[in-house]
Amino acid sequence: MELIGSVKNYDWGKLGQESFVAKLAAANDGQFELDVNKPYAELWMGDHCSGPSLISATGEELGSFIQRDPVGNLGPDACKLSYLFKVLSIRKALSIQVHPDKSEAVKLHAQYPDIYKDPNHKPELAIALTDFQAMCGFRPYGEIYSLLKEWPELEALLGKDKIQKLETGGEEALRELYTSLMHSKPKELETCISQMLAKINAKSDPTSLDQLFQQLHKDFPNDVGLLSIYFLNVLSLKPGQAIYLSANVPHAYLTGDCIECMACSDNVVRAGLTPKFKDVDTLLRLISYEGAAAESKFFQPVQLDPARQAHTRTFIPSVKDFAVAETRVPQGVGEYTISNGANGCILLVCSGRAKLTPVGMDPIGLEFGKIVFVPARTGSELRLVIEESGSEFIVYQAMTNDFIEQ
Ligand SMILES: [Zn+2]
């Protein structure tokens, strides 16, 4: 089933043709009209009620299509897609955030249904499509200590003794320090930030962290999230590299394009770099204060069947809700087989051309921007005939995570 994805024009998205989301949408949807001044932030592929995909041929929502034959579409043990598949094109930073775990999500949803709209957890996987920058998890405590110590302005804002404690105090010292950052008074925060900015602007040889400060300040002046760059790891991902955000890990995407897959939920606890509501008390209660090196945050894929699927890498997180496979078939390979998920899967083609030839069904042409829902009843093997196109054939595939026991 070919799908039309749902495009989100959030303010932080890349503009017009700069946006990979817009390029995919233009190729995916014949009705799509590109406006060069408009931000195109996200492309959603799935059955989430806030942005359901449509069946191209009929205009029916994917969710209702699935419901007409749940067993044929998703297999005997599911009635709804367990994941939401997305592409993001980011021009300016998304808010610093954490996502609650399942039991916490149930409580938050019961208590504040207007803010936390569903009772599900929202672990996320992001795979870079272009050079991609993100903040992820707290830095090692010693690293935070050395960074903060360089700034008398931060000592004035947070307290010299509190910063000093971080040298040996570990998690508890960080909790105390981060709590006082999040509770700092707006006037004092403003003074601190403007003094730091003046110093940074006067530098003849600014560091990459200085430049990030300047960049974020343009979009979020006086936002407490600006100072998080000294607390959180700043990661630069190359295309194909990934990060996985489990519950309670603080993170923010800064720039670039990525594939994203997550459990089907919208529960976000925000901590800065946002005009939206910041639930500071919940954040401070949930956030993981574990400090770890930036390199430890990269998430590695596995090759499940190197003999038969040499061109496929699968990202398998520790939750049942989803897994993502990336297939890159070079030119010159005539045929290639990928696996369907036990609950079906969604394919997104990012480059090249191929024909999907499901047994007993008409072949489907796959090219840039094509989104296809493959029902469970199609079987476990999906045969591709790769066509000459001058570039490798790249397809991303989201499915329920059958690769772990839980
Ligand atoms: Zn997130």
Please report, for the domain that includes residue 386, its CATH number.
2.60.120.10
- How far apart, in whole angstroms, are the C-alpha atoms of residue 140 and residue 291? 4
Residue 44 CA to residue 50 CA, distance in Å, equals 9
Q: Which residues have a Cβ under 8 Å from the Cβ of 173 and sit 6 or more positions away?
A: 141, 162, 165, 166
How close is the Cα of 290 to the center of ligand 1, in Å? 18
| Domains contained in the chain, number | 3
> Is residue 292 in some structural domain?
no
CA of 124 to the centre of ligand 1 (A): 6
- Which of 231, 263, 288 marks a domain boundary? 231
The verdict on 59 and 163 lying in the same domain is: no
CA quadruple 347, 349, 350, 355: dihedral positive or negative?
Answer: positive
Catalytic residue among 270, 285, 353, 377, which? 270
Q: Which residues surround ligand 1, an ion (CB under 5 A)?
A: 124
171 within some domain = yes
Give pLDDT tens digits for 323-336: 999 999 999 999 99
Predicted confidence pLDDT, tens digits, the chain (406 residues): 999 999 999 999 999 999 999 999 999 988 999 999 999 999 999 998 889 999 999 999 999 999 999 999 998 877 889 999 999 999 999 989 999 999 999 999 999 998 888 899 999 999 999 999 999 999 999 999 999 999 999 999 999 999 999 999 899 999 999 999 999 999 999 999 999 999 999 999 999 999 999 999 999 999 999 999 999 999 999 999 999 999 999 999 999 999 999 998 888 998 877 777 788 889 999 999 999 999 999 999 999 999 999 999 999 999 999 999 999 999 999 999 999 999 999 999 999 999 999 877 889 999 999 999 999 999 899 999 999 999 999 999 999 998 887 5
Strands of the sheet containing 312-315, edge to edge, are: 54-55, 2-4, 371-374, 345-351, 393-399, 323-329, 312-315
Task: Label residue 87 exposed, middle or buried (CB < 10 Å: 0-12, 13-18, 19+).
Answer: buried
Asked if 270 is an active-site residue, the reply is: yes
Note whether 26 and 149 are same-domain residues: no
123 CA to centre of ligand 1 in angstroms = 8
Give me the domain span that covers residue 56.
Answer: 2-136+235-276
Whole-angstrom Cα distance, residue 28 to residue 114? 33
Report CA(16)–ligand 1 centroid distance (Å).
24
Residue 63 included in any domain: yes
User: Do residues 20 and 160 both lie within one domain?
Assistant: no
Which residue, chain included where needed, has tokens 């600006």? 226
Domain assignment present for residue 356? The answer is yes
What's the token pair of residue 144? 């935070």
Residue 143 Cα to ligand 1 middle (Å): 24
Query: 249 C-alpha to center of ligand 1: Å?
Result: 9
Distance, in Å, from the CA atom of 269 to the CA atom of 277, rounded to the nearest integer, reads 9
